[in-house]
Amino acid sequence: MQCFSFIKTIMIIFNMLIFLCGAALLAVGIWVSVDGSSFLKIFGPLSSSAMQFVNVGYFLIAAGAVLFALGFLGCYGAHTESKCALMLFFFILLLIFIAEVAAAVVALVYTTMAENFLTLLIVPTIKKDYGSQKDFTQVWNSTMDGLKCCGFNNYTDFEDSPYVKENHAFPPYCCFNRTVTVMESCTREKAEYMNVEGCFHQLLYDIRTNAVTVGGVAAGIGALELAAMIVSMYLYCNQK
């Protein structure tokens, strides 16, 4: 009985932290969606480069909503000893765990397929919005500056974009590498000569370089999810 009470308390505390983290992410996501430029000014240099490939605001809102719901279900289920809430908590966490494993397998085994899919999704958006949408342009500028890369694949991603049409030149990041920087206008000839690598390949290189850290974080998250599922099942099975 003492063991049950201890595990129940730990479950409530753990899920309360998840609930608060979800609420915080939800609030930040709404802030980013409403006023993305101020967020980038404050946190842009410190933000993860990987996060800048997607719409940060919507990503944070989705992640925050999921964590918020999970935290609530876990707290409510443990505190009231509700079998329905505990089972729902278990199944949602199981679905997230399966999705993460599937995404990891796809990322490792089908990298080329993922690249082609993202190219079809991202490149047309770059051609349409880079140079005309302020927040979108700032996000890509921060990404290219941080990763020292150009576009998603290379400089050709910016062809026919509002930026190129207005400035008759490519972004300066496309005429930069780790040893040489072209200070003048970044023309097609200079961009082709510099041949700066695309951000997708640079991101993959950074991930592989830090594979131990990335793998450790992923393993830690997976272990926490498994532990939470085991605890929820223990509480479920020991309810009167």
Distance, CA of 7 to CA of 220 (rounded, Å): 20
- CB distance 53 to 122 below 8 Å: yes
CA distance readout (Å), 196 to 37, 178, 181, 188: 27, 10, 11, 12
The domain segmentation of the chain, as residue ranges, is: 1-80, 103-239
Region at 181 (left for phi over 0; alpha for psi -120 to 50; beta for the rest)? beta
Identify the DSSP state of 238. Answer: T
Residues 75-131: tens digit of each pLDDT:
888 888 888 888 999 998 899 889 888 877 776 676 667 667 777 888 888 999 998
Q: Residue 13 has which token pair?
A: 């505390």
Residues 160-218: tens digit of each pLDDT:
899 999 988 999 889 876 555 555 788 888 888 888 888 888 877 776 776 677 677 77
Beta-carbon contacts of residue 166 (< 8 Å; ≥ 6 apart): 131
Ramachandran angles phi, psi of 170, nearest 5°? -90, 165
